[in-house]
Chain A
Amino acid sequence: MNSELPEPRGVPVGRRVFLGTLGLGALGVLAAPTLQRGTEAFLGGAADLDPTGLTGLLPNGGGFRYYSVTSSVPRKDAKNYQLTVDGLVDRPATYTLADLRALPQTRMVLDVQCVTGWRVPGTPFEGVRLSQLLDAAGVRSSAGAVHFTCFDGAYTESLTLEQARRADVLVALRMQDKDIGHPHGGPVRLYVAPMYFYKSAKWLSGITVTENVEPGYWEERGYDIDAWVGRSNGRDDEPTT
């Protein structure tokens, strides 16, 4: 009753499909730079016409992606936000959101480049130059670096003092000409224009001047500390500044 009819030995199409898929995958890796330019151009155009925003979910569909290293991040606003500046400084300080808004603001419009590959062209950032806060605090001569902490309770970043004093490093209050919202690291985030975006720590809450560079969260996990766009992390993206 359970006699099984043998299936006639046919053509090994399965093996061809299997090997063909592997081959196409390898070919895809080789042809990716060309293909990627094509899809980016096409999806960039399509995204402008797409009211649903679904194209943003496609690979290289454009726009920012949300990354957080903790399970949840407290919300802070003008009422309870504070930024402290301490460490090797003569005048430690604490700034409220209103204090930061009262300082001279700098606006820059440059590309944002993430180390995972996505890039958002021409993004306006606006805020206080970090160098201004450092000068106001009076950095001691023994200092060599700046360490940043965040109110998500986990993320940290750092820059050398020389990098931190660049004119294109901001304590940013606005992005895309809007106050920075919570998902984008608001109300205050760091903006390090010439570096990969993981240097631009979200939810900034502390600036500590230190003697030496202390590696940040992703740098403990293998990312480069000096994260110049196009010259680090083994990537060759076009520089953002």
Chain B
Amino acid sequence: MSLRLDPPQVATRRQRFSVAERWAHRATAVLMGVCVLTAVFLYIPAFAQLVGRRALVVTAHQWAGVALPIPVLAALGSRALRADLGLLNRFGPHDRVWLRAVLRRDKRPSSRPAHKFNAGQKIYAAWTAGATLVMLGTGLMMWFTHLTPLTWRTSATFVHDWLALSLGIVLAGHVGMAMGDPEARRGMRTGSVTREWAEREHPLWWP
């Protein structure tokens, strides 16, 4: 047996998410989890039969839904989150290159340039933020039925149901991609990522 010495450590990790951002993500994930789980209990007959307790499940779903935007709104006090929202908002020429590579199923890192967030993450963030608020609005219309004209309510249910299905699929994609990338998960859990990962996934952020 021979002892192997590790090479000297030189700035191998880099801060990616602040404490406030990580807690906002955690709290949002828990609330979204409650929303999805209770939705399954309310909506899919086999699970509804298993769980029953309809009034209780409805209450849990309603309050988790109303609370869903709160963690992110609270974390807006954090400079790091506001800076990241700025990065998520703006699309540069490299984002178009990234999207085109996705459409061509070109998986080489070199053809998928990205800054701190790639174009897919940017679209995911903007769309889920909008979709969550639409779910909240239509959900409130179904909850407080006396507040809106009657035809709106049936319409709100229609939008809420179909958007729930879309959001569920997109969320499954989000979780699935995180499952396939341990270093990305470590970044969200501990706040920092390795240099190799950043160079491969986000070359423009840490070249």
> Which residue numbers of A lie inside 8 Å of B, CB to CB?
1-2, 4-5, 7-22, 24-26, 28-30, 32-33, 35-36, 56-60, 64-73, 116-117, 183, 221-222, 233-236
A28→B159 contact, CB < 8 A: yes
Q: Are A35 and B55 in contact, with the CB atoms below 8 A?
A: no
Q: Flag if B151 contacts A236 (CB, 8 Å).
A: yes
Which listed residue, A24, A32, A235, touches B150 by the CB 8 Å rule?
A235
Segment among B23-31, B43-51, B61-69, B182-190 that sits at the interface with chain A: B43-51
| Contact code string B140-154 (vs A, CB < 8 Å = 1, else 0) | 010001100011111
With an 8 A cutoff between CB atoms, is B178 at the interface?
Answer: no
The 22 sampled A-B contact pairs (Cβ below 8 Å) are A1-B10, A2-B11, A5-B204, A5-B207, A7-B87, A13-B122, A13-B123, A14-B122, A17-B127, A22-B130, A22-B134, A25-B134, A28-B159, A29-B158, A60-B161, A66-B45, A67-B54, A68-B48, A68-B54, A71-B53, A183-B49, A236-B151
In the complex, which residues of chain B have a beta carbon less than 8 angstroms from the beta carbon of A12?
89-91
Total A-B contacts with CB atoms under 8 angstroms apart: 158
- Return chain A residues, CB-CB under 8 Å to B207: 5
Q: Return chain A residues, CB-CB under 8 Å to B53.
A: 68-71
User: A17 CA to B163 CA in the complex, in Å?
Assistant: 15
Shortest Cβ distance from residue B193 to the other chain A in the assembled complex, whole angstroms: 12
Residue B125 at the chain A interface, CB threshold 8 Å: yes
**B151 CB, nearest partner CB in chain A, Å:** 7
**Do A69 and B52 have beta carbons less than 8 Å apart?**
yes
Residues of A within 8 A of B138 (CB): 25, 29
**Residue numbers in A under 8 Å from B152 (CB-CB):** 29
B159 lies within 8 A of A7 (CB): no
Chain B: CB-nearest residue to A3: B206
Closest to A183 in B: B49
Contact B153 A234 (CB under 8 A): yes
Q: Does B92 contact A (CB under 8 A)?
A: yes
A33 proximity list for chain B (CB < 8 A): 151, 154-155
The answer on a CB contact under 8 Å between B48 and A57 is: no
Using known A-B contacts A10-B92, A69-B53, A117-B157, determine if residue A18 contacts B48 with beta carbons closer than 8 Å: no
**Interfacial chain A residues near B137, Cβ < 8 Å:** 25
Q: How far is the CA of A21 from the CA of B134 in the complex (A)?
A: 8
Contact in complex: A15, B14 (CB < 8 Å): no
| Chain A residues near B156 (CB-CB < 8 A) | 29, 32
* Chain A, Cβ-Cβ closest to B161: A59
Minimum C-beta distance from A125 to chain B (A):
20
Given A17-B130, A28-B159, A117-B154, are A7 and B54 also a contact pair (CB < 8 Å)? no
B151 & A68 in contact (Cβ 8 Å cutoff) = no
Instruction: List, in ascending order, chain B residues with CB within 8 A of A10's CB.
Output: 90-93, 95
In the complex formed, the residue of A with least CB distance to B142 is: A116
Counting CB contacts under 8 A, is B72 at the interface? no
